[in-house]
Structure 1
Amino acid sequence: MGETCDELQRPGAEPAILSVPLAQLRRERTSVKWGRYPDDVIPMWIAEMDAFPCPPVVEAVEAAVRRGDTGYAMGGPYVEAFTEFVAAEWDWHVDGASAVGVADVLSGVTHLLRLLTDPGGPVVTSVPAYNAFFEVIEACGRRVVQAPLTVGHRLDLDRLATVFGELTAAGERTAYLLSNPHNPTGTVHSAAELAALADLAHAHGVRVVSDEVHGPLVMPTSTFVPYLTVPGTERDFVVTSASKTWNLAGLKAAVIVPGPGAVDDLRRLHPFLTYGASQLGVIAQTAAYRDGRDWLHRLVAELDANRHLLATLVAEQLPGVRLLLPEATFLAWLDLDGLGLGPDPALELLQRSRVALSPGPIFGRGNTTCARLNYGTSPEILREAVDRIAGSLG
């Protein structure tokens, strides 16, 4: 099963990244994660980790503020740092000259969907899917087309073939919004699955936009495959950022990477749309990509330990819960049907146990018995949360 986070924090070693005490989090954190609920609630909902920050990022941001380097961002060093990182981690060699910086992943996705589809046109996504996908698609005047995953939470290629075929036969310009790795299930799509998806999309003239913000957070038992590294993706796009991996959602920056056949499409974006990344966000994320790889590898080891701890706690204390052991991210997908909590189990658990989870229905059609749990926290907080849930069930 691997080491626990407690075992990873040995005498003389650096403190575990995921070891911030609950009292300290409540006292010092002012983000929406910690401000939405009263202090008696353990927040395990939004995708924000309870992590000590990456030291090179802290040093870079502090130094920038001290010297007054808080003007408008230059994107070149950020893109360069990103290309160096993906080459080192995944042997993915990106042409930095073709990549474009944007404010954040969701704004990049928005710009691409408007480019690739018509007003009111279809954007397909596999559900359960990241809840913000639905909001982004609707906000840019497109319509969501939901294509469920298989019962094993893999891409349902047969269903996608049917959906793509129906939409394009009707003459609609269609995009597919991919979550790679998949949020909320933590599924890591294989190279074969991604290549099959690319073949389907190409055959039907569907353009793929892959959100790969969780790409570096793949567990040691799996291998992350950047979508643009598989054959047949030349006309597609990746949008990504250091924001999730290094817990930098408040320091905004992101990058759009086009396939070789999509470079001209990306150049059609008005330059104004590619502004908006924060100078401090660019500085922070550049430092993360360049100098934060050791921190990242420590974090993944701690998340690996936490996912196994969660599996053990659920098996021992919550036998009515089905946990899909995540292969990536710091998010776990739980089926709470066996607890008999009624039509809104996440709300019921919030009221009973004072633990906040993300309710399943926000991730797409169905999923009424499911919830997403953020295990990017300390083992102590994780244990307390499961203890509270178990104790509340009587």
Structure 2
Amino acid sequence: MSNGVSWGPDNPHPLSRMKTELVWEGKYDEYGNRRPVKLPTLPLPLQRIETIDEPRDREKAQQLSIFNEAAFHQQAHRDDFRNMLIWGDNKLVMAALLEQFRGKIDLIYIDPPFDVGADFTMQVQIGEEGEAVQKEQSILEAVAYRDTWGKGTDSYLHMMYERLTLMRELLSERGSIYVHCDWRMNAFLRQVLDDIFGRDRFLNHIIWAYKTGGIPENVGFSKKHDDILIYTKSDTPVFNQLLQKSYVPTLPEPTTISGKQLGVQRDEVCELCGVGRPGQKYRNVIMRDVWDDIQSIFRNDQQTTGFDTQKPEALLERIIKASSNEGDLVADFFCGSGTTLAVAEKLGRRWIGVDLGRYAIHTTRKRLIQVQRELHAADQPYRSI
């Protein structure tokens, strides 16, 4: 029904002037205003910090409050920084970190849940026989599932928007963020990141094509890759160019027909290439955005911790080497089994890890203590600076 308003070139309809934008329930209020990220006005007691670093005198690490700065620096390392593993809602944790770490984190990698219908219930392997028990949700996890994952894609996007906004505030001017996702949330998260960082801050879309895992589809092609979206805080991010080996396909033996040799001799192919595996030749080329040389975690892999979504250390090693330098601060706010933190520790980076899952924190803590013991045994410092 017409309301008496005449739309046209002299009076354009509001819809004709809208820009391309991803809109979800909760992004705008009832008056059309952008909803700000709501932060707590007071520190919450549920946030606890545990400093995993073992001091050089091998004293037992103590639990400290995130807001107790004097105690935080009590057991100083070479650079007066102690790595942090925090159990709690990462939105609240990041809000608490802003005062001290705004603009100071050099690299953020996150691997948030891909499936908006997922909860925190999981099978946990115990003992050497591979027996499994059901790990139920804690109260914190149950509340988070109900409020963010339990309401579908809209609530998931709003949850990610708020947290990515805080991550941008924590990034240094030369910092980068890597967001790991898959086909379910790729398109949505790309638009959310464009909204927060700007399209001109998009750096790369990495395809991690693992050759193992995945389930063949009855209809369609088997899904065998994940996506990693990279955005930067400025146009001058830290980036260390990496090289990869590009192998020359092995040619078949020359064939002789009627006394004539067909084909090309192997030693005549690609003379400028180096020698790869026996009988194979390769050249070092600048790394491309398709990574098909890193395998996913096998169940019997030495790295495995029992997490279904655990990522291989080789993947995080590549990311950390590319977008940070020794001594830089690396953060993972969905740290899961602690792969990012373990690799950062080995590569001499400082780190902050956060997770809502009780089992994740327990697994990460155990893993990091083992990494530090191995570094001690090898007489390697945590950080050489």
Report TM bin, short chain: under 0.3
Higher normalized helix content (fraction of residues): 1
Higher RCO structure (Cα 8 Å, ≥6 apart): 1
TM-score normalised by length of structure 2 = 0.26
* Length-normalised TM-score, structure 1: 0.25
